[in-house]
Amino acid sequence: MFSVSDLQVVSVGFSSILSTSLVVSWTPPQTTAEFINYYKVSWQANNDNRTNLELPDNLTSTTTPITGLTPGVSYRVFVKSVDTDTEHAHVRFTSVDKIN
């Protein structure tokens, strides 16, 4: 058996950072990756704790683009790994500095 925190992705990183988009990628946990059914990715501006935008798809890959960002704004990006069999989920988040 494992705990919820065992589902947490190991790292979250960014690439291809442009004025209104970026690519986010992450590494699955080594010991429990086979239990993860999908990932959900969401983000919010650092200055807005109320609005959380989410990609509509349940992702099985470990990389995805995020588009529609506002230039000059810093964002927090959340990656949630989900095990549907036990309904465990755990979120790892990180921030990207201002999108230029």
Encoded amino acid at 17, one letter: I
Structure confidence at residue 93 (pLDDT): 59
Structure confidence at residue 25 (pLDDT): 94
The CATH architecture that domain 4-96 belongs to is Sandwich (2.60)
pTM: 0.81
- CA atoms within a 13 Å half-sphere pointing along the CA-CB vector of 43: 24
Q: Which two tokens stand for residue 75?
A: 């964002």
Structure confidence at residue 68 (pLDDT): 92
- Domains of the chain, by residue range, sit at 4-96
Averages of pLDDT over each 10 residues, the chain, 100 residues:
72 91 91 83 86 86 94 89 71 58
